[in-house]
Amino acid sequence: MTGHAPIPPAAIMMIVGAVACFSVSDSISKMLTSRYPVPLLVWARWGAQVVAMLVWLAPTMGARMLRTRQLRMQLVRGTLMISSSVFFYLSLRYLPLADATALNFLTPTLVIVFAIALLGERLTFGRGAFVVAGLAGMLMIVRPGADMFKGAALFALAAASCYALYQVTTRMLAGEDPRVTLFYPALVGVCIMSLVWPWFGSRVDVDWPDIGWMLCIGLLGTAGHFLLILAFQRAPASALTPFTYVQLVLATAIGWLAFGDLPDALTFAGMTLIAGGGLLLTWHERRKALIAAPEPTAVD
């Protein structure tokens, strides 16, 4: 068996930079969710990305930014992405940053379940063990019967489920231009939230400093996705996935420093089980060359 090529340091720096952008963006979002409606924040997040992508791509691509052979699937995928964002922002309002991030890292577990159910992919022993580990880690964090499980944790689990389906539909769009595939979720999100958020936030007065923070959310999210693209150009996703778990460390550190939230021992154990299972599965499948994930685990 031949060894894998070394991972370029630049790709590692880019993937770590991407998850750092997502972590800081999430911390700002958590701060703002206590003062503003979630639909308004989601609209600002994806609106900034639409503007940034238009500035970046419109001069060279023009109308080709909207050209797709699978419009219906692009719209479904965009709706799943925006649904994931709404649920994740709702979870940030009520959960510690680290807990919400850790639960959203159940996405790879759910991707396996959905890929088997919807795409007919094979359930190997390694994948089955990873699913069990992920679910066990989730139970350590949410603790069925506790108030968190009955309420806010369900938002985080819904966000992970929508994001997992988003990744499964991404596999179905493998032949599409990746720039188009990146643009559609942002465009769909802005269109949906433009219809939704006025019902929740039309009478909300937004302070000028908070407008700046909302702009930061969108720019950091866009920068994170752009760094992911650059990293993918330099190394396979299966090689970069382990480095995305730095986001759990960053979320824990930022949650502690900014909000005074430090996970307890059982939550730490659950986070470790989710991350450890993900790392082992990535190593196993990369070694066996069974799959090449279309996107890393990093969550935004």
Does residue 201 form part of some domain?
A: yes
Does residue 2 form part of some domain?
A: no
Across 223-238, average pLDDT:
80
244 vs 83, higher pLDDT: 83
Does residue 300 form part of some domain?
A: no
The token duo for 40 is: 């308004």
Does residue 274 form part of some domain?
A: yes
Does residue 218 form part of some domain?
A: yes
- What integer best gives the mean pLDDT of the chain? 84
- Longest Cα–Cα distance of the chain, Å, equals 63
Across 218-242, average pLDDT:
81
Domain extent for 165: 9-288
Cα gap 153→99, rounded to integer Å: 9
Does residue 27 form part of some domain?
A: yes
Q: What is the pLDDT of residue 28?
A: 96
Q: Which amino acid is at 227?
A: L
Q: What is the pLDDT of residue 60?
A: 92
Q: What is the pLDDT of residues 102-128, one digit of tens each?
A: 988 888 888 888 888 887 877 777 778
In our burial notation (b when 16+ CB lie closer than 10 A, e otherwise), range 73-93 reads bbbbbbbbbbbbbbbbbbbbb
Q: What is the pLDDT of residues 259-272, one digit of tens each?
A: 999 888 888 898 89
| 168: pLDDT strictly greater than 50 | yes
Does residue 297 form part of some domain?
A: no
Does residue 298 form part of some domain?
A: no
Question: How far, CA to CA in Å, does 62 sit from each of 53, 99, 183, 211, 273?
Answer: 11, 41, 12, 29, 46
- Domains in the chain: how many in total? 1
Per the listing, tokens 């639960």 go with 103
Under the banding of pLDDT at 50, 70 and 90, the label for residue 78 is very high
Under the banding of pLDDT at 50, 70 and 90, the label for residue 197 is confident
